[in-house]
Amino acid sequence: MSVELLQDLQQEVRRLFIAGSALAQGDLRIAKLQPQLKQLGESAPVFNRIAEASDAVLSASREDSAVKLLELATLLSAVLHTQGKTETVGELQSIQSESIDLPTDMPYRRLKPLLDILSTKGQGRLEQLRQAVQDGVHLDLRALPMMCSALDETFPEIAELVAETIRTGYGDSALPLLRRQINLQGGKGDARRLLLIERLAGSEAESLVLDAAENGSVDLKIAAISTLGEYAQHESLLLEMSREKRKEVRQAAFDSLASLGTDAALNRLFEALTSSKDRELAIEPIRIANSTALIQRIIQLAEQSLETYMRSEGKERGAAIEQLNAELLCLHGSGTVVSNRNSYWHRRINSSRASEALSDAVYAVVHKLLTTRDFIAPETEMVVENAAELLLTMNTEQGNRLLLELPQEKSIVFIGFRFRAAYRLMSPAELFRAFAPMLETPSSNAARELLHVIEQLVSEQTDSSDMDASTTALAECWDSRWIHAFVKADAALLVTQFAHKPDRVVTEYLTSSLGKNASLNRHIDQRILFALYRIGYKDTPELVFGLLERRYYYYNDDNIQQLIALMPRSYIPRLRELALKPNVARPEELIAIADAMEAAPAEIIEESGPSLWRWIRNKLS
């Protein structure tokens, strides 16, 4: 059966459908095919019928052309549908089967949403993916390839979750696909693949990892290098990588050298510390290495850098100070972040075991620093702070004494260090005498800094979260006169934290601090009310109720619940009445609180205070 002829005719018919049957009359190209059709028709009748149908198209009038063309097309289509080829010429090859042991038992309604998450972009997919993984939807053979492809996701959190899921959910089963997919010249997705392969295949992946480290793209190099810190046999490769042109690669190499911890590795880190190019990169690796020998050398280096600084002038001075600063930073623990003073809240100081082992030597160099004449100056601010932080972390008596002697007049920041040191060394009364006078000019920078430090200390002392508005400073640790100093300095937050017993001045201050715009939603107002309760101000419940009446709240806030729960039982009916008012947003929450208060057993009420609150909170959750 001459299918090609029919396919040729099909092409012409298609052309006419596009151009319009109105133009079909006498079409030359169809006419050309007629003789062949008729010839074949001699042996196969269907060709005759097709030839007749084509004739009809050629000779149709404009009005009939559409019908005739459709007839031809229908006949042709029917015939061609019976001529579909099913054999393919060529060599047969078997399909490689990886024998992954996963079922295909997920129903459509659960599987499709997961596959959609993995194949589309858009918001909200992270949470949906997390839920799907938690439900085990990914444990289906059909999800495996798409999960592995999803390592290339642009949203890093999704990609990380995918990596984690592949590791824990599929394990070795994913290896064949990962190996097939990985491209050593790829980007972050392929870097994740490499890490997964290394994690899952262990030593079997060595040649791939080495290939990536030496010949891969930057992302692949970094990933490969990060896995090489386990075995000494890769030392020379790591040393080589630590001299690569790209900074990120050198950083990765330093990190791994730190894990390796061999002599040659530590020497390289020391060398890096002394070069202005790699100084910054070497700091964290040195901390991680935690080697007392290395730290010892760095301490000696610091002493030299100090001398260099004192001797030099101009540009050299600037370089020396940077060098000295880097050396000091090495003495802190891993993960330490000493940023700009203005962002104190982002500061994180960790201690280093190596430095602690060498605490005398550390003290010695810091002592030299801080007592060298004229060293403490605006240009050396950073270094001095770092040194002070070191002393603070190490918390030795001699270190604290040295801190106390910091010249406050040279920098406001020293107030904080001095105060913390003094807090450790002095008695509460001594501490008060030494520092309270600063608060007498409450608007001065010094006073503000002092209040700031005290707030931090108090917050560090209390165990609970910042959100709890009822926390207080530990009364035993502080002189009782502080609170009046705070009142005079209008430091409302501290007043609330230091209010333990009845006091007319304090009460007056607190009640007047509850301004016109007081609200149970404002943290400071919550604190004031807790403090008033604590010192026994009898009108506190009425104050709280007044604020409740003023507007609606979301009553499932711990602080608000507690403030209400502290009211005497006589308030319970008034609370129920309030819940019925129209502007209350969630009356059932308010009623629940009233119910819990009412249901409290007598013994608990007698104890009152924290145990009553715990009982009520339990009931409400």
By the criterion CB under 8 A, which residues form the site for another protein?
3, 7, 13-14, 16-23, 62, 65-67, 69-70, 73-74, 77-100, 102-113, 115-116, 118-119, 131, 135, 141-146, 176-177
- Distance of closest approach, residue 599 Cβ to another protein, in angstroms: 13
**Cβ closer to another protein: 95 or 602?**
95
Within 10 Å of residue 194's Cβ, how many Cβ atoms? Answer: 28
- Distance of closest approach, residue 86 Cβ to another protein, in angstroms: 5
DSSP label at 333? P
Burial grade of 43 (CB within 10 A; 0-12, 13-18, 19 or more): exposed
**Cβ closer to another protein: 113 or 587?**
113
Write the CA distances from 604 to 598, 615, 616, integer angstroms.
12, 8, 10
Q: Angle at which helices 523-534 and 540-550 pack, to 10 degrees?
A: 150
- Distance of closest approach, residue 53 Cβ to another protein, in angstroms: 13
Write the CA distances from 304 to 31, 297, 308, 370, 594, integer angstroms.
101, 11, 6, 15, 71
620 and 614 Cβ atoms separated by less than 8 Å = no
Closest CA to 528 of 486, 478, 470: 470
440 and 427 Cβ atoms separated by less than 8 Å = no
- Token representation of residue 481: 């006169």
**Cβ closer to another protein: 116 or 607?**
116
**Hunting for tokens 């599987």 — which residue is that?**
111
**Cβ closer to another protein: 91 or 460?**
91
- Distance of closest approach, residue 181 Cβ to another protein, in angstroms: 10
Closest CA to 205 of 172, 166, 232, 159: 172
- Distance of closest approach, residue 69 Cβ to another protein, in angstroms: 6
- Token representation of residue 38: 């008729």
Q: List phi, psi (to 5°) of 337.
A: -125, 110
477 and 461 Cβ atoms separated by less than 8 Å = yes
* 246 Rama sector, left if φ>0, alpha if ψ -120 to 50, beta otherwise: beta
* 529 Rama sector, left if φ>0, alpha if ψ -120 to 50, beta otherwise: alpha
- Distance of closest approach, residue 119 Cβ to another protein, in angstroms: 4
- Distance of closest approach, residue 199 Cβ to another protein, in angstroms: 21
d(CA 567, CA 573): 12
**Cβ closer to another protein: 111 or 616?**
111
Closest CA to 390 of 329, 347, 305, 335: 329
- Distance of closest approach, residue 80 Cβ to another protein, in angstroms: 7
d(CA 585, CA 582): 8
- Distance of closest approach, residue 72 Cβ to another protein, in angstroms: 10
- Distance of closest approach, residue 576 Cβ to another protein, in angstroms: 15
